[in-house]
Each structure stands twice: as structure tokens, then as C-alpha cells.
Amino acid sequence: MLCAFQAEAKDILIIRGHLHTAAEDNFEDGLMVCMDGLISYIGNFNEDEIRNLDTSKPDVNFLDYRGQHIYPGLIALNSRLGITEIDLVRATRDFNEVGQNNADVRSLIAYNTDSKVVETVRSNGVLMTEIAPTGGLISGQSSLVKTTAWNWEDAAIKTDKALHLNWPSKINHRGWWAEPEAPEASKNAGKIEELKALFTKAKLSYGTKSETDQKTKALWPLFTGQRTLMVHANAASDIVDAVLFFKSFEITPVIVGCGEAWTITSFLKEHNVAVVIVRTHSLPTYNHTDIDMPYRLPAILSDSGVAFAITDQEHWQQRNLAFQAGTAIAYGLSASEALKSITLYPAKIMGVADLYGSLEVGKTCTIIVSEGDLFDMRTSIINSAYFKGIELDLNDKQKDLYKLYSERYFGND
Amino acid sequence: MIRLILLLFIATTLQLHAQETYPVNGTRELPLKEVVYTHANVQVNSDVLLKDACLHVKDGKIVGIYESYKKLKGVPEINLSGAYIYPSFIDLYSDYGIEHSPKKDHNKAPQFTSDKPGPYSWNEAVHPETNASEMFHSDKKSAERYRSMGFGLVLTHLEDGIFRGTGSLVNTAEQSDLIAMEFPQAASAMSFYKGSSSQDYPRSQMGAIALIRQTYYDAQWYSRQSDEINLSLSALNTQSKLPAIFEIKDPQDVFRVYRIAEEFNKTYIVKASGYEYRWIEDLEKVKERVQFILPLTFDKAPKVSNPLLADMVSTTQLYDYYYGPHNARIMNEHGHTFCFTAHGLKSDKEFFAALKKLKESGLNEEAILKALIETPAQLINHPELAGIKIGSTAHFFITDGSIFDDHVSILTTVIKDLEYKNTDLIHHSIPGKYQFSLNGETIELDIHKPLNKPSIKLKTGKAKFISLEHEYAFVMSINDINYQVNLSGNQLVASTLDNNTVSSIVLNKIGPVDEPEKDTTELKPKVLPVPFSMDYAYVDPSESYYAITNVTIWTCEKEGIVEEGTVIIQNGKIKACGVNVKVPNGAKEIDGTGMHLTPGIIDEHSHIAIYRGVNEGTQAVTSEVRIGDVLNAQDINIYRQLSGGVTSSHLLHGSANPIGGQTALIKMRYGGSALDLTFDPDFKFIKFALGENVKQTNWGDHQTVRYPQTRMGVEQVFVDAFTRATSYKLIDPEFRRVDLELEALVEIMESERFITCHSYQQGEINMLMHVADSFGFTVNTFTHVLEGYKVADKLAEHGAAASTFADWWAYKYEVIDAIPYNAALLQKSGVLTAINSDDAEMGRRLNQEAAKTIKYGGLSEIEALKLVTINPAKMLHIDDRVGSIKVGKDADLVLWTAHPLSLYAQVHTTFVDGLIYYNIDMDRIAREQIAKRRAAMISGLSDVKQTADPKPEENRMYHCDDNEDENN
């Protein structure tokens, strides 16, 4: 039944193992029953529950993962998976369109389901990802996709769900991602005026019969909440500016990045703003900033009641998603919140929490199985994964090369 | 008693007015040949002020100084009525009267050698043949500006390039260049900046330093040979005896200059940054070889009023604002020799304001004057220029008060027999007490300096000041009649107009205004709000005896893991390690219950703490450049690495060219200067690189000229370089021109210097091993080596080590086959293997990166930890000192709160040389202190005009690929 691309699950899965549900309770010796890809039972292991099932059917599978850890499939937000393969090979770059306003472009149709990079991320438990365009003022629309699929239509879980926007910062960020330099003041007032004009035009034209361009139309679903506005901003003053700006258009954005969120937690909570933290493995913004501030940020937000999710960055790096959340545990976040920050909370932001993101009755059986603690690299070895009850192929190009050269040097052992 | 101090000098017919050879158009005009200034306060030198004295000048020479009034028969007398005479100030750092060559249009393709015609240096930034005297042209506007600040003598040079040639001492007379020129070649000048040169090399500061060193060696060679004519080297040799002025911009540059001075047995007069206070303790070391020219430009207050943006202002910027004006005072207290420069000041107002700030900082008037009068003269070996002495040339200026008073103005500057009145200050004699009678009334009028607010006293009736019309005319009203009051000849006249009739009243000056009671208490120096401290630098060198008890010890030796053991640290070394170790008296016990102790992490590949450029990269071979020349000890990333348990980092040149620069190994001795960071002065490694970066694959369409552009060319670069080095080696060292590039390559061939080579694909890795074999040396380390697993057997056979990433890939084409199992495969194949960071952020999580090899490839925990401790130590040939916990080794240790390979582990304490440079509790205290210091400094700015934009921190962070030109 190892079939990564099968369309529908027909089987009944009876799964036993340590269940980390990202819901109310976790079950150390847990039992989960899934029928046609949906969870029908979850709780402590219980013989009666199995007895009640008609286990004589040929499509009933017992999956005994005792001693192993079962988690909801991970969701990597704001990634470039499948829309770039090798960043420095221009031919493989499909994430940054020319121009400032690309509200109409959609990452979904550029998604390369055959990417060799995506499979290495999947094999570390990332079963879904939001693929997001970058660049310009308005980068374009993202979709939530599966990391295993025949084609982009098959991959789509939530099409064109979010619109990504780069807030024109008061601060000019310099350097590159792993090695940011000290920022300097910039003058971006003109760009904010530009945004104001775009959103005013969209607001005025929304609901009218006036002929409108597709870039403007792409903003309309933001007013109904059908589409989520993901605003990229890091500095406290920029976040405040952005939230208040969009409030005037009755839009509550999700802030992506949000490195200085710790200075404005009450504000974020008051305005009901959710945050996508991009990498806890970051350097502090300023020399004098607490050296562990990026590590502590999730715990600070959690303690302050600010909704947040955690992601890694770009494409291949997303295979370390679990460790980004793990670091937050080491610095004060509870393990269950850490799990939710890469499963349930991203699912909520993407509007798919009815079916994904946690292990609860009625949701899909979208799970990963780890030999040990998912969050610690020593033990985070993903053995199996299921999407809607269908087992996924966790092999990847790198494992193949490892096997090939192991055999070459050390023979078959 | 009138006492003649000295009158030896008899005026002769000597004509000082040095323009004898010039024809005169029309009839001659001569200045007053002889004059005596009386009732003057004469500052004869920085220590001595003669009150109410006389100064006798004849034919541009000082011929007499008298401590009290003396009538000299037949000599015109100018009564200065209490004005001050100061000896001319001397500014050693200026480009007065020198026109800069404009920056050339740089075509975007690289330029490898100089465009300058003639037998000159290969490098356009090396032009010691430049003579300021040949370019100098006196300029009225600048001369006036200098005179308005008291500078009668200025050392001017072409402020451009690295070797800038000679500077001339000129005076600030403006009639003619002949009169202005005092000493055509008074000093030589240098900098680290290539300026208008359009040549690519040097692109980095380390390149500039290498160029300076190579040029000095070339000059030595030049003097021994006769085959080649090189006018640059010839000029450099000629000027080697002149005082050398070295412009720097960063306070740590002083240490870089010092290293050059040591190597070539030189002394330099450093035009400094003005922030020397930051390194004041360490500057003690450079005193013998470095003297200073300090700027008087002080930082403006940073903008901190927006609470959402105040964090952008760095702590350093706040300190610089407060400490800048104290810099000279602190330098003085530490016994440094310094003078001041007006370089960067826009006006006399700024200059006098700066002097006032210096005084407020607690620097006394004598010290300030000394730095403007005697010190600059001594520094250029012309002590005769300093002060007012009988027999010396007249270089002085007259002010209407002490230069430390408010509103002081320079009235006249005397240069030889020329006199320059400050034309803006024609009104200088106006302030005073006046009396006049009007309609039988006696009216008293006080006119204060500046002239904006006269107070008018009337016995009866009413009078008031109406407005200032311009600087020497104002309007006042007496009994409702308005009068214009202005200077008319030597007197003040009040005039009014009524019915076509002008009526005027002459105002008689009866004395100075009644000064308000002067505060006689000593001026209290402005107190600095907080003591200076680098953020998070809290090491206490006096605490160096520790016992860490009940701790799980990961020895990385054959003993493996020792449970519940004790480690004793004393005087920087590991004294004892084991289970039955007693805690000695005097040792401070650290209870390690539940914690783990490991060797300090060693990062084989890092680019932190590097100043102005990680890549020279302008030539295929740059083995002459050294990262060790450009260490930045103030980089916060040193501390951040400590917080992740890193105790040593191998700082590499970037990967822009096949043979890069010499690397530096540092210990994280955060808080000290660059001189303290070095692990071992004899450490000799060099960075090589292969693949896309050296081919300039990703540098854009203009970078298609520099060889090599293919992997084929890369091989031949190595073959050519080592062939040249082989020939070089054969020349008798006594006769050969020291070639720093080839010296390093010879060291490689003689196994004295070791390679760490940036590499990705198996083909190029294999290639370099073949090249090495053919020249008889071993490639010590391949770094990155992401396809190393494909040639693990070959690496093992060659004896090369591998230092790799845990899981990086897909960022460029040549890493398309990178796999996270690489380290495990290499390790299992018998290759000495390490995990490195190449990244300031990842560097502080190297224990976690090592742990990934357990997940990818199934290494044991001990094997995994060794990837970041003893293995890199072996690779760097320092395993006799660090890398494991063994008695006698350096106490570079990390105490972890949990299993050291677990993501949940935090560093509790990091020891370097047995000192605590990071501790989890001390870090929390430091945070609070930083917050308090910042708050104190920020609150001190609330009443100050804040105009400075937040300034970036000085620690640029680098990655191998960074290759922008930072050396303009």
C-alpha cells in the first residue's frame, strides 16, 4: 500500500503509539482509528475499541508504533518549496515576479511537484506547505499544497489563500538572512502612499460594476476574509504602522517575520493579530538585544496570548522546521504549544484546521511517525507518514545517494 | 619694572617677504615693517601667559617680548587694550590648497594594473611620488577659514590613496604660493583607502595592508638593485626619514597601524578616529610607535525620541556621543602624545565650541594649547615653529579675549610681515561702555558682545534698544526718537533724520562694560553618565581558579564520558579531571549536578570579527593578504559564539579566488583588543577555493574577464602559482625581492603553512589533491567539501581532513548532490571530519549541527561531539592545546545545562583560558546593566537637539561569497 500518489484512502487504519495530538490530550499508549482517511477514534489504547471494529476485512491495517511518536503532519508556512530548486540557477527561480504590485500572480501554478528539494523536506515530516511569492511591494498569492502530489491541481489544499505584502519599512534592512547587518533608517513614505492608493481603489471598486484590473480584484477577497493578508514586517514600529494602516481598511493582517514582536505583545493581542515567526534560529536584531531573544520569542508571545505559528525559511531549510519549534521549547514554550505552532496554528492561518493540523475525531489522518522526540535532532527520525490515511514514500534523492555510497564503501550491511 | 626679556636679535636687511624674484606690477606697497603691540596678553607658549605685555615685531620676526609696558622710541605702537596674542596653531592634517583628482569613470570590467603613464607603481593607490608642494595653490576662502580658527600653519597633502606622497607645511597667507610655502616636504602621508584609484586591488582593508607591506619590501629591494627604474619606490625611499602621517577611520585601526610599524620598525602619526577611548587600556601597547592627531568633530546627538525606534541607536553610538569630547582628555590622562586637527570642521564657531567642550571634559587649557602649538611642531620635527619666541618668525594671531571665553573672535592674524584682518569682525572694538550727552542729559550705553543686545541706561527719560540692523549698526530709541548707531571711523555715532536734517551725536567710549560677576569657582568637568563598557564584556581576569564538581564530563579522549566527575581549572589550564578529584582550597566550586562539561567548541570555518572585507578576490592569487590584519574585537558575534559554547573560531578569507588569504585563528577573548584575540602567533593556515565562486559564476555579467572562468582554468592557476613559488624558492633569500604572495606559497610547499580549501564537487577536490601531490605537499583540509562522500577513499588516502555542513544544500548548482550524510560517510571512511558553521548564527548552535549526524548517518554521540571539538582541533594542529578535556590543556570548556547534543541544552558557562567569558546568570545581569546604561544615556538626551541618524554597528557580518568593494 506504499503509494504516495493514491487519490483516496480506502483502508481502515488502526494505529497504536505515543500520540501527540496538538489537541487537548496526548496519549502515551494511544490508539487512533481512521476510516477512509478520517480519524474516527482517538484515545488511550483500548482493546474494546479494536474489538468493536470488523477487523476481518482485508483492507484493515494494524500499525503498531509502540515506542514511537506520532504527530500531525507538519505545515511549513511561507516557503519557497517547489517554486525554486537551486536559487542561484536563474532557470529554477519562480518566486519573484517583476514589478512592485503583483497581487494577481499565483504561486500554485508554478509549484513543481517533482522537485528533489521538496522530497527531502517531506522526509522530515513536512506534509503541507504554504508556497509564497516574494519581492516587490505586493508579492502575490500563496496556496497551501501537499508535499506529495502528481501535479499542482492535485497538490492544492487551499488555493490562493493568502496575499503576501512587504511593508515598506522605516528601517532599511541590510545584509543577508543569516547575517543581517545593523539596520539604518530609510524613507519609504512614498511606498505607503502607493499602498494607500491601491487599497483605496480596491475598496471603492469592491461590489460595484465598474471595470477593474485583475490586480485590484485580487485585493477584494481580503475585505471578506476569504483571503488572508500576510504582511512581512520585523521592526516594532513597522508592525504597528502596518496593523493600524490595514485596520483603516477593516483588514486584520497576519504578520510574517515579526522579530520585534516581543516589544508590542499587548498591541498585537489587542488587535487580534497573529504572527508567523520566521526562524527562531536567528541573530538578535541589535548588538544590545538579549542574545536569546529570537529563541524566546515564541514563549513570550504564547505567555502574552498572541496567536503565532513558527516556520523556517525559503525552501530546503524547511526540513529543519521541527527544530525551529524545538528551540522554542528549550527557551520556555511548552512542548504542546511548540507542536501546535507547526501544525494546528498554521492550519488555522490557512483556514484548513477543520481537516488538518491536529489529531481529532473528524479530521484527516495526516500524520508522521518519529523514532523519538520530533523536536530534538538526535532523535527526530521520521519513519512513516500518512496523508489522509495514505502512506507516503519518504525516500528522497539524498537517501538514495547515501545508500549508493554506503554500499560502495562498506558493502551491504 | 619694565624688564627686557631678550633682545639679541638685531634686525638686518634680511627680507622675509619671500617673493623677491617676482616682478611688481605698478608701484610697491609695503606692510608696516616694525610695530610694537602694547597692553596685550601674550600667550608665549601653552604654559605661559604674560598679562599686559608688549610684543615687538620687525621684518616678520619677533624681536622683543616685554612683561610690562615699554615705550620703544620710533616704533609704531598698537595698543591692544587687553586683547590676546596667541602663537599660531598648527594643523597637521589638511588638504588645504590641494585639488583632488576626480574619481575616474570606472568601467565595470575589472582593472588589474595602474592606468598612470610613466615608470610608477603597479598600483594606482600607491603614489608616494606625489608632492603636495607641486600641487599646492593657496586659496583665499580656505585660508580665511583656517585663520579664523587660529591656524597659521597647516600641513597639507593630497588626501587620496594609500601612499599619498609628501605633504607640505604651508602658512595661511594668501597672496602667493611662494609666501605660503614653509617646508615643501614636511611629512609623508598614508591611509588604508585607495580613494580615486579605479584599479580593483585592493578591495578590502586586508588587501590595503598587504599592499602597504609589499610596497615597503619592494622599496627595500629597490634600494639594493639597479636594473629597474621605479619612481614610486624611489620616492618612497627618499621620504622614509620624514614623519609619516597615517589616516585611519576606525579606532581599532590603531592596532593595525601598530602591527605595520612593528614589522618595519617605523613610527606613525595617526590621524585618529576620535573614539580611541574605547580601547584606551590596550593603546598602552602602541605608545612607542604611534602618536595621534585627534579630530575636533564630535558626534551629534542621535535621534532617540521615537520610543519605537530608539532601539536602533547602538550603545556605541550613545557612548561616542558622550565620550567623543572626552576622548582627548582620556588620551591625555593615559600619557599619549596628541595634537588636534580642524579637519572636518566647517567654521570657527565649531572650532571654538569644540575647544569649550574639551575644557568642559576636564582637559586643562595648557593641554589644549599644547596640542595646538608645541605638539604638532614637535611631531614634524620643527619645534622652532611653536610659540612666540624672540628670533622666531612671526606666526601669531590676536583675539578679543581668551580663546576659551564665550564669543571670542580672532581679529588679526600675523604671518611673517603680513597682517590679515578678520574683515567680518570690523566691529570688534565696539563693545564697551559709552557716554554721551543729549539735551543736557548724560546717557550711558553698554554694548555687549555679541552686539545683539546693548543695554541703555538713562538718568531721566526713556531709551531702549530697538533692533540690530546688521553687525555693526543698530537702532535705539531715546525719548521716542530713533537713532541709527554705527561705527564711523574710530568712533560710534548716533544719527537721526528729521526734516532733511541729520543730527548726530558722538558716543565716547569710557571703558569696558561692567562684566557680570564671573563665577570664580573652578569649572566642574562634565560628568559622563555611565562608565564605558562594551556590551556584554564582563570577564573578570582575577577569577581563574575553579572546581566544577558532580558533572558529566565528555572528555573527547579515550576516557570517554566520566560521570559525576570533577574538573579543576587553574591559571588557564586544566589541572585535574576525574572522579576522585578533591576540591582544592581557594578554588571556586561550581556545582555541576545534572550538567555536562565538554571541550570548547571549535568552529573550523567562520567569518565573524572581520573588518572591511572578507574577500580580497581581485586577483586569482592573493596569498599575501591576512585576515589577522583586520580583526574586529568589538564584534558582538564573538560574544554570541561564546553563548553557544564556541571558544575558538578559524576565521577564513572568503572564497572569491583560487588562492585566497591567510586565515586567523582566534580565541573568544571578548572584551580585549584585536591583539588579544590571536590563538597563537605562529598559526599558519591559508584559504583556497574552488568552483563557482572562484569562477565568478554568480557575480553578474561584467565579471567575465578575471581568469579563471572555468574549473579548467582553476587547475592551471594552482599549477602556475606553485611553479612560480618553486622558482622563487631557488633564489637566495638574501637577494630576492620579498614577495609576500610567494612567501606564503613556499611555506605551503615546506609544510609550514596549511591549506583549508573551500570546495564542493568531487572533480575539483580530486584535482587539487593531484596538484598538491605533484608539488609535494598535502591539502590539509577541504572545507564545505559537500561531495566529499564521493571521494572519501581518495581523501583518506591523500590524508586530507574534511570540514563540512550538517545539512546545507540546494543554494547553488554545485551543491545539487550535497547530502546530510556526508559527515557520517567521511568519518566512517577514516577521514578526519568536522562540522563547521560559515555563519555567525549557526556558529552558536554547532552542538546541534553535530547532533544531526546521529540522525543522518547514525554516528555515535561521542563521535558527533568530536566533530566540533577534538576533530577540528586536530585539523588545525592545535589538539595539543585544545579540543579535549585533558590535564595540561587550555581550560577552554563549556558547561551545558543538559546533554550537550540535545537541542534542549543551553550553555551555562563558557571558559576560555580558564576565565568565564559567558555565564547564563552574568549574561542576565549584563542585560540589565546594558538597559540601565542605555536608559541613562538616552534620558540625558531629552534636552538636547537630536540630529544624528542611528548609526549602524561596526560589525559587518560576512559569508564566503561577500565580495563587494569596501575599500574606497
Put simply, whether B309 touches A (Cβ < 8 Å) is yes
pLDDT at A3: 46
H/E run at residue B315: helix B315-323
Do residue B812 and residue A330 have CB atoms under 8 angstroms apart? no
Q: What is the pLDDT of residues B350-391, one digit of tens each?
A: 999 999 999 999 999 999 999 999 999 999 999 999 999 999
Q: What are the backbone angles phi and psi of residue A123, rounded to the nearest 5°?
A: -70, -5
- Which of A140-154, B91-105, B147-161, B593-607 is least confident? B91-105
The CA-atom distances, in angstroms, between A233 and each of A240, A252, A270, B308 are 10, 14, 18, 14
Chain B 767-796, residues with CB within 8 Å of chain A CB atoms: 789-790, 792-793
CB pairs under 8 A between A and B: 171
**CB-based contact A375 B903, cutoff 8 Å:** yes
Contacting residues of A for B950, CB less than 8 Å apart: 183-185
Confidence of residue B69 (pLDDT cuts 50, 70, 90): very high
> pLDDT-based confidence at B523, cuts 50/70/90?
low
Cell of B849: 549541527
Residues of A in contact with B312 (CB under 8 A): 171, 183-185, 286
pLDDT average, residue stretch B868-878: 98
The DSSP secondary structure of A259-300, one letter per residue, reads: TTGGG-HHHHHHTT--EEEE-SS---SSTTS-TTHHHHHHHH
* The pairing of beta strand B151-156 with beta strand A254-257: unpaired
Is there a contact between A283 and B840 if contact means CB atoms under 8 Å apart? Answer: yes
Whole-angstrom distance, CA of residue B398 vs CA of residue B148: 10
Helices (H), A128-284: 152-155, 189-205, 214-217, 220-224, 236-247, 265-270
Given A85, A89, A376, which is nearest B904 (Cβ)? A376
Place of cell 523514532: A371
d(CA B505, CA A189): 61
User: Once rounded to an integer, what is the mean pLDDT over residues B219-237?
Assistant: 96
A181 neighbourhood in chain B, CB within 8 Å: 952-953, 956-957
B551 to chain A nearest CA, in Å? 20
Nearest to B636 among A287, A323, A402 (CB): A287
Nearest to B927 among A184, A290, A316 (CB): A290
- CB nearest A398 (choices: B790, B821, B854): B821
> Other C-beta atoms within 10 Å of B102: how many?
7
Q: Does B956 touch chain A (CB under 8 A)?
A: yes
Q: Which of the 8 DSSP states describes residue B427?
A: G
Of B25-29, B236-240, B606-610, B721-725, where does mean pLDDT reach its minimum?
B25-29
Q: How many CA atoms lie within 13 A of B554 on its CB side?
A: 26
**Residue A4 above 60 pLDDT?**
no
What one-character DSSP code corresponds to residue B4? B
Nearest to B143 by CA among B131, B129, B153: B153
> Using omega within 30 degrees of 0 as the cis cutoff, is the peptide bond preceding B708 cis?
yes
Q: Do B857 and A326 touch (CB under 8 A)?
A: no
Tracing cell 494494524 back to the chain, one arrives at A62
Q: How close does chain B come to A283, measured CA to CA in Å? A: 6
Closest-CA residue of B relative to A285 is: B312
The C-alpha of B170 sits at a distance from chain A's nearest C-alpha, in angstroms, of: 41
Closest-CA residue in chain B for A327? B903
Q: State residue A29's pLDDT score.
A: 97
Q: Which residue of B has its CA nearest to A287?
A: B636
Residue pLDDT, tens place only, B162-218: 999 999 999 999 888 999 999 999 999 999 999 999 999 999 999 999 999 999 999
Smallest CA–CA distance from B845 into chain A, residue: A281
Q: Which residues of A touch B959 (CB under 8 A)?
A: 176, 178-179
Q: Which of A173-177, A271-275, B158-162, B507-511 has the lowest mean pLDDT?
A: A173-177
Q: How far is the C-alpha of A381 from the C-alpha of A370, rounded, in Å?
A: 5
Residues in chain B closer than 8 A to A329 (CB atoms) = 903-904
Task: Tell me if B801 sits within 8 A of B836, measured CB to CB.
Answer: no
Query: Could you say which DSSP state residue B958 is in?
Result: -
Place of cell 595621534: B292
Question: Are B788 and B802 in contact, with CB atoms under 8 Å apart?
Answer: yes
pLDDT tens per residue, range A119-175: 999 999 999 999 999 999 999 999 999 999 999 999 999 999 999 999 998 877 665
Identify the pLDDT of residue B19: 67
B692 near A CB under 8 A = yes
- Chain B partners within 8 Å of A381 (Cβ): 855
Locate the chain A residue with the closest alpha carbon to B807. Answer: A317
pLDDT for residue B963 is more than 80: no
Q: What is the pLDDT of residue B195?
A: 93
For residue A320, give the chain B residue with the closest CA. B807
Burial state string for B706-719 with b = 16 or more CB within 10 A and e = fewer than 16:
bebeebeebbbbbe
Q: Taking residues B882-906, what's their average pLDDT?
A: 98
H helix intervals, B182-252: 205-224, 231-238
Q: Considering CB atoms only, which of A171, A182, A316 is closest to B809? A: A316
Burial B865-898 (b: 16+ CB within 10 A, else e): bbbbbbbbbbbbebbebbbbbbeebbbbbbbbbe
Shortest Cα distance, chain B CAs vs residue A199, angstroms: 26
Separation of alpha carbons B126 and B189, rounded Å: 11
Is the per-residue pLDDT at A38 higher than 90? yes
Mutation target among A179, A296, A383, A405 for the B interface, most CBs of B within 10 A: A179
Say what the pLDDT of residue B506 is: 85
Asked if the Cβ–Cβ distance from A180 to B957 is below 8 Å, we say yes
Q: Which of B46, B213, B56, B24 is nearest to B123 (CA)?
A: B213
Domains with residue ranges and CATH for chain A:
1-73+358-413 (2.30.40.10), 74-356 (3.20.20.140)
- What per-residue confidence (pLDDT) applies to B1? 35
- Residues in B 791-820 with any Cβ partner in A closer than 8 A: 792-793, 807-813, 816-817, 819-820
Q: Do A291 and B906 touch (CB under 8 A)?
A: no
Write the residue in B309, B311, B792 that is nearest to A409 by C-beta. B792
Name which of A112, A240, A244, A287 to mutate to probe chain B: the one with the most chain B Cβ atoms within 10 A of its Cβ: A287
A263/A175: higher pLDDT: A263
Contact B821 A329 (CB under 8 A): no
At residue B5, the pLDDT reads 35
Rounded mean pLDDT of B948-953?
A: 74
Rounded Cα distance, A346 and A344, in Å? 6
Give chain B's length. 968
pLDDT at B409: 83
Q: How many CB atoms lie within 10 A of CB B559?
A: 15
HEC letters along B260-292: HHHHCCCCEEEECCCCHHHHCCHHHHHCCCEEE
pLDDT classification of B450: cutoffs 50, 70, 90: low
Banded pLDDT at B438 (limits 50, 70, 90): confident
Measured CA to CA, the distance from residue B904 to residue B901 in angstroms comes to 8
Q: What is the DSSP letter of B821?
A: T
Say how far apart CA B496 and CA B473 lie, in whole Å. 13
Residues 703-742 of B with CB under 8 A from A: none
Residue with cell 520610543: B307
What pLDDT, in 10s, does the model give residues B10-63? 333 334 455 677 777 777 777 778 999 999 999 999 999 999 999 999 999 999
Phi, psi dihedral angles at B71 (to 5 degrees): -85, 120
* Cβ-based contacts of A260 with chain B (< 8 Å): 311
Segment among B293-297, B390-394, B514-518, B795-799 with least mean pLDDT? B514-518
Residue A179: closest CA among chain B residues belongs to which residue?
B957
Residues of A within 8 A of B314 (CB-CB) are 182, 286-288
Cell of B489: 571711523
The residue behind cell 540692523 is B469
In chain B, which among 164-193 make CB contacts under 8 A with chain A?
A: none
Residue B697 contacts A where some CB pair is shorter than 8 Å: yes
CB of A328 within 8 A of CB of A308?
Answer: no
Higher pLDDT among residues A28 and B311, named by residue: A28
**What is the per-residue pLDDT for A229?**
98
Domains of chain B: 89-100+130-416 (3.20.20.140), 428-511 (2.40.128.50), 545-594 (2.30.40.10), 599-918 (3.20.20.140)
The amino acid present at B280, given as its one-letter code, is: I
Residue contact B855–A326, C-beta within 8 A: no
CB contact under 8 A, A287 and B829: no
